[in-house]
Amino acid sequence: MSFDRLINNIKQKQNPTVAGLDPKLDYIPGYIKENSYANFGKTLEGAAEALFEFNKGLIDALCDIVPAVKPQAAYYEMYGWQGVRILERTISYAKQKGMFVITDGKRNDIGTTMEAYAKAHLGTTDIEGQDISAFGADALTVNGYLGTDGIKPLLEICQKDDKGIFVLVKTSNPSSGELQDRTLDDGLTVYRTMGNMCESWGAQTTGETDYSGVGAVVGATYPEQLGELRKTLPHTFFLVPGYGAQGGGAKDVAPAFDENGSGAIINSSRGIMCAWKKEGCDPTDYAQAARREAIRMRDEIISFIGEIR
């Protein structure tokens, strides 16, 4: 269990960013939707098939320069099981193209139920002696509110197939401080306490780099806390949302990286998916617009952190 494959992918492409695949119908060019509705109707299936075409175009345009994608489960579930089927196809297609896939599901539960989520999203499901992959992502975001019982079942399943998890530590939203910034009786904040739990859970994992297989989600909108956590959590790799649409810039995310330019991957979802709208280019050029934005984002971040070693 480690993030070695992700870290190697980042180094090789010299690009510490991940493209969020949170496809809403609003983001998809009209010609893709019309085509899908013509084949499948204005139904959950028709919408879901349009999402897949959109995703496929993005993955094709990004896979040689962006190391990872992060599909957000909510946007697939919104289109029913038909949407969830497209989540599986999106994961599979991105992996075929060499991308590292992080399913953003923020799953959480205990014991055998958490084990079921781990099997679903990262491992395999046993059906009468055959191990079948259900969704097969490389990493999953999880919520640690339930403590160690909610994390341990993941560690066991991730160990076998060299997968990783990202635990919510300090989220990017305005109200994240309501609980996460509160101070506990030992003087540490809730988010620092959760961060320390990540270090301790990660200590049971092994990999080639200094980073464990237990990462943390830390928002770009809180650069001070990003820097504090980078210093205090030396073995915890960061997934950083909040760049772009939520207001974080390259300067804000710079504290997430270590002295080698490693230790973090920065997510952009709407910035990349909706680049064609912002550019005002021809809708059929949406995937290349996404690529241009991905290159701009990469170059902007690299200009702050230098070469990734």
Which residues are catalytic, by number? 106
Residue 11 or 121 having the CB closest to its own copies:
121
- Structure tokens given for 50: 């349009």
Decide whether 80 or 249 has the Cβ nearer to its own copies.
Answer: 80
Contacting residues for 242 by C-beta, under 8 A, at least 6 apart: 172, 219, 220, 221, 248, 267
Q: Which range, of 53-61, 166-174, 208-216, 260-268, touches its own copies by CB under 8 A?
A: 166-174
Taking the complex as a whole, how short is the minimal distance between the CB of residue 72 and its own copies, in angstroms?
6
Q: Name the phi and psi angles at 271, rounded to 5.
A: -55, -40
Closest CB 9 distance from its own copies, rounded Å: 25
- Our finding on whether 178 is near its own copies (CB under 8 A) is yes
Site for its own copies in 245-304 (CB under 8 A): none
- Which of 78, 281, 295, 302 is the binder for its own copies (CB under 8 A)? 78
196 touches its own copies (CB under 8 A): no
| Torsion angle in degrees (nearest 10) through CA of 150, 155, 160, 161 | 90
Nearest one of 241, 235, 236, 237 to 222, comparing CA atoms: 241
Report the alpha-carbon angle 45-138-293, nearest 5: 70
Contact partners, residue 96, CB within 8 Å, separation at least 6: none
147 contacts its own copies (rule: CB under 8 A): yes
Q: Minimal CA–CA distance to 102: which of 115, 92, 91?
A: 91
Q: How far is the CB of 121 from its own copies (least distance, A)?
A: 7
54 binds its own copies (CB under 8 A): no
Nearer to its own copies, 40 or 304 (CB): 40
CA-to-CA distance for 279 and 75, rounded, in angstroms? 24
Q: Of 125-133, 154-162, 231-239, 298-306, which segment contacts its own copies by CB under 8 A?
A: 125-133
Told to check if 35 binds its own copies by CB under 8 A, we report no
Kindly give, in sequence order, each residue whose CB lies less than 8 Å from that of residue 8, ignoring residues fewer than 6 positions away: none
Q: Binding of its own copies at residue 116 (CB under 8 A)?
A: yes
